[in-house]
């Protein structure tokens, strides 16, 4: 049995100590926001915080983190109100979305230690891969969240830059299901 705390809750895992943290989280705790991408420590889709440090959970055996404090995307905030989550919406960052929870967790760790990261610092700290190429929007969202965190200002979701709010509102009906025939 391996015991550690996940999103504030003490958990005892009856799993092989060699089990990757990723599978303990997804299969035993049903925390499926943490994604499996490469399984080789390359892509970062599985990024969570272990004692505040971003770790690629596919590479962390649970036996190695006895007593640790793990935070997943589900535990980053209890109302999706973390400035990064709001900035992600405001900037319209995700495309397919698969890499995004890992990106946000990596970004959250960066902002916890660096209040005003430059684009170069962002690129250096976040080595996660996005096959959709959302990197420019990720940088913008991180800068936007950092600004809100520095000033304590509200950060409300808004259409991405260069999108007229009226156009965004007009697009909503087009997303409704087609009428039945």
CB of 35 to ligand FES, least distance (A): 7
Among 81, 97, 136, 153, binds ligand FES (CB under 6 A): 97
CB of 144 to ligand FES, least distance (A): 18
Mark 33-72 with x for binding to ligand FES (rule: CB under 6 A) and - for no binding: ---xxxx-xxxxxx---------x-x--------------
Judged by CB under 6 A, the stretch of 79-87, 96-104, 116-124, 164-172 that binds ligand FES is 96-104
- Encode 34-52 in three state secondary structure: CCCCCCCCCCCCCEEEECC
**Segment holding 21, helix H or strand E:** helix 21-23
Q: Return the residue matching tokens 């260069």.
A: 162
Pair type for strands 2-6 and 9-13 = antiparallel
Mark 110-149 with x for binding to ligand FES (rule: CB under 6 A) and - for no binding: --------------------xxx-x---------------
CB of 48 to ligand FES, least distance (A): 10
Give whichever of 89 and 149 is closer to ligand FES, judged by the CB atom: 89
Q: How many CB atoms lie within 10 A of CB 12?
A: 9
CB of 83 to ligand FES, least distance (A): 20
Phi, psi angle pair for 28, to nearest 5°:
-90, -35
Q: Which of 161, 2, 18, 157 is nearest to 85 (CA)?
A: 157
Q: Which of 109, 27, 123, 43 is nearest to 70 (CA)?
A: 109
Residue 71, helix vs strand vs coil: strand
Give whichever of 58 and 76 is closer to ligand FES, judged by the CB atom: 58
Residues near ligand FES (CB under 6 A): 36-39, 41-46, 56, 58, 94-100, 130-132, 134
């Amino acid at each position: 049995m391996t015991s550690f705390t996940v999103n504030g809750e003490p958990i005892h895992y009856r799993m092989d100590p060699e089990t990757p943290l990723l599978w303990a989280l997804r299969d035993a705790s049903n925390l499926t926001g943490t994604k499996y991408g490469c399984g080789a420590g390359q892509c970062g889709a599985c990024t969570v915080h272990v004692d505040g440090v971003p770790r690629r959970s596919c590479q962390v055996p649970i036996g190695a983190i006895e007593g640790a404090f793990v935070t997943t995307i589900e535990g980053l905030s209890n109302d999706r109100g973390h400035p990064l989550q709001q900035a992600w919406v405001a900037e319209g960052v995700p495309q397919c979305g698969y890499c995004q929870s890992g990106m946000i967790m990596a970004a959250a760790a960066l902002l916890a230690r660096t209040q005003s990261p430059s684009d170069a610092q962002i690129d250096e700290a976040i080595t996660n891969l996005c096959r959709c190429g959302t990197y420019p929007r990720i940088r913008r969202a991180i800068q936007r969240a950092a600004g809100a965190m520095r000033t304590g200002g509200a950060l409300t979701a808004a259409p991405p830059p260069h999108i007229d709010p009226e156009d965004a509102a007009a697009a909503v009906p087009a997303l409704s299901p087609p009428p039945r025939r």
